[in-house]
Amino acid sequence: MPRWDVASTGHLTTCSLISPELVPDDAPPNRGPTRLRPTVIGPIAPGQKTSRRPADRASPPVSEHATRPVVAPTAIPGVERRRIAVTVADIARLSPGVAPAVAATAVRLVEGFVVEGARDRTITLWGHGAQQEYADLVARTLDLARADELGRVRAYVTRMIDLLGAIDLPVICGIGRPAGVFDRLFGGTGRIDTLCALEDARAELDQLVRLTAAALDPLLRLRDRLSEQARRIEATGGDIEAAALAAGFLADHLSITQPALSQRFLERAMSLTRSVAQLRGDDPLRAAQAEQPLHLIAAIQEAVLVAMPAWLSTIAALTATASGARSPNPTEAGELQHRLQTILQQLKT
């Protein structure tokens, strides 16, 4: 029967299968069967091919250092970076009352500037990205302010004001004096002073109420976009201000050692400061642009969706009553006229 024999070396332990069939016929009687010799696998040096050799042949030890390639240090040409000493207090002295976040940004800009590697292009583009971002944001804000949603709702509200302002309730109720022939020929035309004209106006006002109510959600989304633009403009203004303060600090810091660079930084500081002044001056305009959708939304919610339907239902009852035997009395006509003026005031606000 075959059996297993375990052979151990300094490198690897292997098992050999001893089989009777491997014993030659002419083997001496005093010798055992021929054994399979274990194969020793030693460490492989770089570039060395793998070989198999018997275990009884001693292999020379391989040095640990011989297997490690020698790596030479790599030298990269450049300029040694030297930070400019600056603190938030130094920036605050240039602009008292500056926001801490803006001052901290200015400090990072100064610390990131390398005097030895400075080029004209670096100074020319100092803060230019923030200025360009501000210009793009202003252009997009103007586009939003001229959005179709605002134009349509303004047209609806304007038409409502025209129709409501043309209604002459005292004349319709038979209390006021109707316009004479001279007034009709040379005065303002388009007065709604008959029941037929009032009914036509009421039908159009009903249609305007439905259209304006459908535009409420687009107005709310537009208001959110305008608010987001205002926040981004404010953040960009802080970046421009930080770049201006950093340029001013560097202009003062380099005034003796690098007068040419100092002059260039002074020019950039002045340009960036003008951008900040323009941005702050446009704050009221941007606030008004962001409030426009809110004013229209308030007019829609208070006048168009609440007061207007109730008033139109009363007008419908009035036309039905006026066409019958009973006409509205002066108190009823006065109350309707007062509610009409209130709606007009809400729409014009």
In terms of Cα–Cα distance, which of 191, 196, 198, 137 is closest to 166?
Answer: 191
- Predicted pLDDT at 125: 92
Beta strands (DSSP E) in 94-184 are: none
- Predicted pLDDT at 117: 75
- Predicted pLDDT at 129: 94
Over residues 63-81, the mean pLDDT reads: 56
User: Which run of H or of E encompasses 187?
Assistant: none
Between residues 153 and 4, the one the model is more confident about: 153
Mean pLDDT over each residue of the chain, to the nearest integer: 78
- Predicted pLDDT at 28: 52
In terms of Cα–Cα distance, which of 240, 294, 289, 275 is closest to 141?
Answer: 289
- Predicted pLDDT at 90: 93
Say if residues 147 and 222 touch (Cβ distance below 8 Å).
Answer: yes
Could you read off the pLDDT of 296-345 as tens digits, one per residue? 888 888 888 888 888 888 887 776 765 555 667 778 778 888 899 999 98
In terms of Cα–Cα distance, which of 124, 92, 121, 96 is closest to 105?
Answer: 92
* pLDDT above 90 coverage of the chain, percent: 33
Q: pTM here?
A: 0.63
Token pair in block for residue 167: 């209604």
27-36 — which CB contacts under 8 Å span 24+ positions?
Answer: 35/5
**246, pLDDT greater than 90:** yes
User: Which run of H or of E encompasses 13?
Assistant: strand 13-18
Between residues 239 and 44, the one the model is more confident about: 239
- Predicted pLDDT at 77: 59
In terms of Cα–Cα distance, which of 259, 220, 239 is closest to 115?
Answer: 259
- Predicted pLDDT at 170: 80
Between residues 273 and 146, the one the model is more confident about: 273
Over residues 156-170, the mean pLDDT reads: 90
Give the integer Cα–Cα distance in Å for 106 and 242: 5
Local confidence band at 284 (pLDDT 50, 70, 90 cut-offs): confident
CA distances from 13 to 5, 31, 34, 43, 75 (A): 11, 24, 19, 15, 47
